[in-house]
Structures are given as C-alpha cells and as structure tokens.
Amino acid sequence: MATHARPPRLESHRNAADRATRRQAAIETRQLQHFARQLGQVTHEAMRARQDFLAQFARLDAEPALAATRARRLGVEYGRLFEQLRIALRVVPAPMTARPCVDAFDAWLERHLAACDSLARIGLNGETSQIGLAARMLAEARVAARRFNQAHREIGLARAA
C-alpha cells in the first residue's frame, strides 16, 4: 500500500517566513546597537575635542601679537585630532539604515578639519584673516550637527544604544 505524502501546509510556510523575518530583524537590531555603541564613543570624543578647540579658538584674540602662532598651533594640533576621529568613524561598521547619520557626522568632522586647515595656514603667512574663514567653517559644522541629530533620531539610535 502506497502512502501519500501530505502537501505542505501553507500555514507552516507562513510561520517559517515569520521566523526568518523576526530573525533578520533581531540581527539588524544587534547590528544597530553595536553601531550605536561605537558611534557613541567616537561622538563623545569628538564633542570633547570640539569643546576644547572652541575654548582655545575663542582666546585667539586675547594676545593679538601671538594670534598667528597660536592659531597655527591650534589648527595643526586639532586638525590631527579631528582627522583621527574621522578615521575612527570610518572603521565603524555602519548598517545601511545608519548611513545618513554617518554622512552627517563625517560632514561635521570635515568642517572642523577645514577650520583647522584655515588656522594652520595663518601661521604660514602671518595673516589672521583666515580666522574668519575658520569661524564660517565652524558655523557650517553646526548645520551638519543638526543633520546628524535628525538622522540619529530618525533611525532610533538613542534607543538602540
């Protein structure tokens, strides 16, 4: 007597698809959590660097005779630091959903690097007009910061960390 195999039940296919979807969602959540932790470390360091940088930037005009020398030193020192932070950002594995956040943070770092470059060039020619350019770059960094904060909220990184 031949046995007839039962056709697979449609419901079991749905359950398998649901399980696969849940598994994929769990993987993506873990990736986002890992990314959020690593990004948090880099952003924390970047915020601390920015605070220190801005404090010293604000004091450049305290001694006009030394402004060019101090500006160059500030630009070189913090240019290196912001470049290191940029490298640290680029090695953080980012899920596709987090790309807008990474791009905005990279733009923020780029503006700080441009400000540092302007300051570093002051020392080469002694002309302090580059301080205004550095200030404009820092203002543009605030725009990038708003983009970063918006992207951060949209992908729910605050909850993921």
Rounded to a whole number of angstroms, the distance between the first and last alpha carbons of the chain is: 61
- Give the range of the structural domain holding residue 134, as residue numbers without chain letter: 33-160
In a domain, 14, yes or no: no
- Which tokens belong to 148? 């970063």
In a domain, 12, yes or no: no
Count of domains for the chain: 1
Nearest-10 crossing angle of helices 67-90, 10-58:
170
Task: Say if CB 105 and CB 38 are below 8 A apart.
Answer: no
Cα–Cα distance for residue pair 151/153, rounded to 1 Å: 5
Can you give the pLDDT at residue 160? Answer: 46
In a domain, 96, yes or no: yes
Can you give the pLDDT at residue 156? Answer: 74
pLDDT digit string (tens) for the chain, length 161 residues: 556 666 555 556 567 667 767 776 677 778 888 888 899 899 999 999 999 999 999 998 888 778 888 999 999 999 999 999 999 999 988 888 889 999 999 999 999 999 999 999 885 666 777 888 999 999 999 999 999 999 988 877 654 44
User: Is the whole model's pTM more than 0.85, yes or no?
Assistant: no
